[in-house]
A and B are shown apart, each in its own frame.
Chain A
Amino acid sequence: MAETVGQRYEALKRAALQKISILKSKPLVLVGTATCGRAAGALGILSVFKEEVDKNQLDVEIREVGCMGHCYAEPLVVIAKPGFPTLCYGPVDEGTAKRIVSDYLLGDDPCYDFALFALDPNDEFPTYEDFPRGVIEKKIILADCGLIDPEDIDHYIARDGYAALTGVLEKKPSYVIEEIKESKLRGRGGAGFPTGLKWERCYLEKDFPKYVICNADEGDPGAFMDRAILESNPHQLIEGLIIAGYAVQAAKGYIYVRAEYPLAVSRLRVALAQARERGLLGNNILGSDFSFEIDIFQGSGAFVCGEETALIASIEGCAGVPRYRPPYPATCGLFGKPTVINNVKTLSYIPHIMRQGAAWFKSIGTENSPGTAVFALAGKVVGTGLVEVPMGTTIRELIYDVGNGIKDEKQFKAVQIGGPSGGCLPGSALDLPIDFDSLQEAGAMMGSGGLVVLDEDDCMVEIARFFLDFTQKESCGKCTFCRLGTKQMLAILTEITEGKGKPEDIELLQELAEDVKMGSLCSLGKTAPNPILTTLRYFRDEYEAHIQEGRCPALMCKELITYVIIPEKCSKLCDVCIGSCPTEAIYTRPDMLKAIHLDKCVKCNSCMVACPPQYKAVVKISPPLAVEKEEGGAESEG
């Protein structure tokens, strides 16, 4: 008798659970080796664990996992020892790693001093839920990240992975589409288009073959959640992509990944091979009559390829230039065939929605934006990393409760949300609940979820200039407004940050911004002026200080500041500023106090960082001092 899809899956799951139970019978060490962990030295920690375990001949399983999101405490290590609460440690250095092995794995002391939190409720140590971050966060697509081995499909299957696909294969495609429509899932790529409608449009087309594409071309500077998901839980995405393929009756899927993410690509390749081997991908998936293949296509670094039509052009082997829509890709996409393109996060939600139902999904978040939002918290915030919160969480909760506030006890100034397409929101927007619509009203955008916190030391004009510099470089050049408009706006902003701004510049920027918005075809151009418009709206006084007084209030714009050492504060006995200066601009005066040759200073900030906190003798001044010849300095002008 032929096995049903469900029976085949049950067999896979039984095998996976058995494998996991063997794994759980001995101590398990999980080292987070996603790119962020690696940058903090996780590979070194991994080898320390391996060596120490070998040396002591311990029966311990060591696995590499992805990112748990607590990037501020990288490298992270999770240890699950039978009879003890599962604990997460970080930041782990070589010494800590050795101590953990000798005291906890060899002995019975869990080294609570080094632990961050426990993963399961216990009487010994606070769990993640005992912290404000744990209370507010609601993890759906990040739930397994950092806890399962991305290169072992059985870890995913043991946690009900591919159960949604199994259920879907036993139903009609139209059922899947109805469920996704019902869930009101909106695309997490940034624009928030209803996913169900996109799928339905493609499903109704009768032109075959059809394609589904996962957009993993995370080009936003300041965003890294797609990378983290790809590196931590690739199967979740693959399952979502296969379900999408089934729903619209496509035969082939592509995952379009940035070439800058080599680890993500290699982990994806392993995951695809394992899925194929288990019969979850390829011909007749789980014995059904649905066949589906997935190819990886490596992007080559072009921000505009995040745009659907540009991405398609790129896969077809051309320069990634967007085209006019309609026709939308859902009716005429890759190779002229109906194509669905979804972001990594959107597809990652699919298995959860299919397994737990649309009603469950709608119970999270706000009415018009159900579900959660994934943010990459970066910048001047203490708890940098990846967070997943219900839609409708306020920016204040996100920064102060989840992110633990501003670094170094500085003042909050603004939050840059949504990358180059987004905008900068001021303190008055802190209580804004975050969802697709509220952000749009405030002039920003959800974008792909990058959230950079800025403090009093950040200049808003400079931020606007930075984003314009990015969009200007990334403009594909097709639309004149985008190509020349962004260039002109960048030139004006650069002049302002250099103190050469003219009073009429603000007006001109405003006009240009509106024109570029109107005259551009794709979202790159349409949203490029957002950083300018929001900074003008909320921080106009900073523009005016630059233009009228030649002063940068945040003391950031290089041309508008000088570094000086205050003699009253300088200790004659210390030399650290001299040692820290890369250009030998700091010298000792005859009275033993230190001073800076303004003409040699490259304004690299090293001396300010180096000056011991009890003196704080180095300060920045704006408007800048004129460069004058130092007394006793024997330099002659040529």
Chain B
Amino acid sequence: MITVALREDELKVIREETEAILKNHETERQELIPVIQEVQERLGYLPKEAMQQIAEAMGIPEVDVYGVATFYNQFRLNPPGKHQIKVCMGTACHMMGGHIILDSFERRLEIKEGETTPDREFSLERVACVGCCALAPVVVVDEKVEAKVSPIRVDGILLAFEMQKAEQEKGKKKNPEEGGQEN
């Protein structure tokens, strides 16, 4: 797992966003899950700093926030990739070859499920069931549900992103002033 050190400006965003979310909620314990859900929605994951801040605001031990965040499958403690790939591992998908699809993604992206590619472009997850069993095997790419996926379709999905990226980079080369790319 790659851990990324946060920059000062990233920390600032985390502090401000968390503060804003906390302001919209009561500080009762039953608000804890909605709060961390919102933080993850805004930031894409649950940074340690945000969890500390929430614990302080709600007057509960930090470990309680961490405990809840790690208990549920939804929460992520590391930043996700730009594109999130969720492979459904429900019964129907498993029977129709979901594990082959997960294998294919792992092989193509050269990461294991639960990990993010070093360039932070893709993250790969398995999900319990997205409820599209009739169209198995299913993969959720960003927000889009892809039905009846085959190993060849996996290549197609990734190729589409590569082409999109190549297109953007071509655009960037033409206007070098726009959007300084940090490495």
Q: What residues of B have a CB within 8 angstroms of the CB of A384 in the complex?
A: 133-135
Asked whether, in the complex, the Cβ of B155 is within 8 Å of the Cβ of A582, the reply is yes
Q: A39-B135, A223-B129, A301-B73 are in contact. Are A604 and B151 (CB under 8 A)?
A: yes
Q: A71-B135, A378-B136, A419-B91 are in contact. Are A319 and B71 (CB under 8 A)?
A: yes
B32 in the interface (beta carbon within 8 A): yes
Q: What residues of A have a CB within 8 angstroms of the CB of B71 in the complex?
A: 302, 319-320, 476
* Residue among B33, B34, B130, B151 having the largest count of chain A Cβ atoms under 10 Å: B33
Q: A378-B136, A609-B150 are in contact. Are A604 and B34 (CB under 8 A)?
A: no
Asked whether, in the complex, the Cβ of A298 is within 8 Å of the Cβ of B34, the reply is yes
B100 in the interface (beta carbon within 8 A): yes
Q: A35-B130, A74-B135, A319-B68 are in contact. Are A222 and B90 (CB under 8 A)?
A: yes
Q: What residues of B have a CB within 8 angstroms of the CB of A39 in the complex?
A: 132, 135, 138, 145-147
Residue of A nearest to B90 (CB): A221
Asked whether, in the complex, the Cβ of B135 is within 8 Å of the Cβ of A604, the reply is no
Within 8 A of B (CB), among A53-96: 71-72, 74
A29 to B111, CA, bound (A): 45
Asked whether, in the complex, the Cβ of B155 is within 8 Å of the Cβ of A300, the reply is no
**Chain B interface: which size bin?**
35 or more
**Chain A interface: which size bin?**
35 or more
A40 in the interface (beta carbon within 8 A): yes
Asked whether, in the complex, the Cβ of A301 is within 8 Å of the Cβ of B68, the reply is no
B31 in the interface (beta carbon within 8 A): yes
Asked whether, in the complex, the Cβ of A219 is within 8 Å of the Cβ of B150, the reply is no
- Select one of B92, B147, B150 contacting A40, CB under 8 A: B147
Within 8 A of B (CB), among A394-428: 416, 419
B180 in the interface (beta carbon within 8 A): no
B30 in the interface (beta carbon within 8 A): yes
Within 8 A of B (CB), among A442-486: 450, 452, 454, 458, 463, 466-467, 470, 474, 476
A111 to B173, CA, bound (A): 51
- Select one of B73, B92, B151 contacting A606, CB under 8 A: B151
Asked whether, in the complex, the Cβ of B134 is within 8 Å of the Cβ of A221, the reply is no
Closest CB-CB distance, B138 to chain A, in whole Å? 6
A609 to B90, CA, bound (A): 22
- Select one of A378, A467, A604 contacting B100, CB under 8 A: A604
A385 in the interface (beta carbon within 8 A): yes
Asked whether, in the complex, the Cβ of B33 is within 8 Å of the Cβ of A314, the reply is yes
B32-50 CB mask vs A (1 if < 8 Å, else 0) is 1110010000000000000
B128 in the interface (beta carbon within 8 A): yes
Asked whether, in the complex, the Cβ of B91 is within 8 Å of the Cβ of A452, the reply is yes
Asked whether, in the complex, the Cβ of A219 is within 8 Å of the Cβ of B74, the reply is no
Asked whether, in the complex, the Cβ of B91 is within 8 Å of the Cβ of A378, the reply is yes
A385 to B133, CA, bound (A): 8
A220 to B72, CA, bound (A): 15
B131 in the interface (beta carbon within 8 A): yes
B1 in the interface (beta carbon within 8 A): no
Q: What residues of A have a CB within 8 angstroms of the CB of B5 in the complex?
A: none
Asked whether, in the complex, the Cβ of A300 is within 8 Å of the Cβ of B33, the reply is yes
B127 in the interface (beta carbon within 8 A): yes
A315 in the interface (beta carbon within 8 A): yes
* Residue among B75, B130, B133, B152 having the largest count of chain A Cβ atoms under 10 Å: B133
Asked whether, in the complex, the Cβ of A606 is within 8 Å of the Cβ of B132, the reply is no
Asked whether, in the complex, the Cβ of B91 is within 8 Å of the Cβ of A416, the reply is yes
Q: A219-B128, A582-B104 are in contact. Are A376 and B30 (CB under 8 A)?
A: no
Asked whether, in the complex, the Cβ of B92 is within 8 Å of the Cβ of A298, the reply is no
- Select one of B31, B108, B152 contacting A580, CB under 8 A: B152
B51 in the interface (beta carbon within 8 A): no
Q: What residues of A have a CB within 8 angstroms of the CB of B96 in the complex?
A: 379
Asked whether, in the complex, the Cβ of B130 is within 8 Å of the Cβ of A380, the reply is no
Q: What residues of B have a CB within 8 angstroms of the CB of A320 in the complex?
A: 71-72
A377 to B95, CA, bound (A): 13
Q: What residues of A have a CB within 8 angstroms of the CB of B90 in the complex?
A: 221-222
Asked whether, in the complex, the Cβ of B31 is within 8 Å of the Cβ of A260, the reply is no
Within 8 A of A (CB), among B86-133: 89-97, 100, 103-104, 107-108, 127-133
A318 in the interface (beta carbon within 8 A): yes
Residue of A nearest to B70 (CB): A319
Asked whether, in the complex, the Cβ of B68 is within 8 Å of the Cβ of A74, the reply is no
Asked whether, in the complex, the Cβ of A602 is within 8 Å of the Cβ of B103, the reply is yes
A416 to B90, CA, bound (A): 13
B176 in the interface (beta carbon within 8 A): no
B23 in the interface (beta carbon within 8 A): no
10 nearest CB pairs, A to B:
A71-B134, A222-B91, A221-B90, A301-B73, A300-B72, A224-B131, A384-B134, A378-B133, A378-B92, A39-B145
Question: 30 A–B contact pairs at CB < 8 A?
Answer: A36-B135, A72-B134, A221-B91, A221-B92, A221-B129, A222-B129, A223-B133, A227-B131, A260-B130, A297-B34, A298-B37, A300-B37, A301-B127, A301-B128, A316-B30, A376-B134, A378-B133, A378-B136, A379-B91, A379-B92, A379-B133, A379-B136, A419-B91, A452-B91, A580-B151, A580-B152, A582-B104, A582-B107, A582-B108, A606-B151
Given A224-B134, A260-B130, A317-B32: 14 more A-B contacts, CB < 8 Å: A36-B135, A38-B145, A40-B147, A224-B131, A301-B74, A314-B33, A317-B28, A320-B71, A376-B133, A379-B91, A602-B107, A604-B104, A605-B100, A606-B152
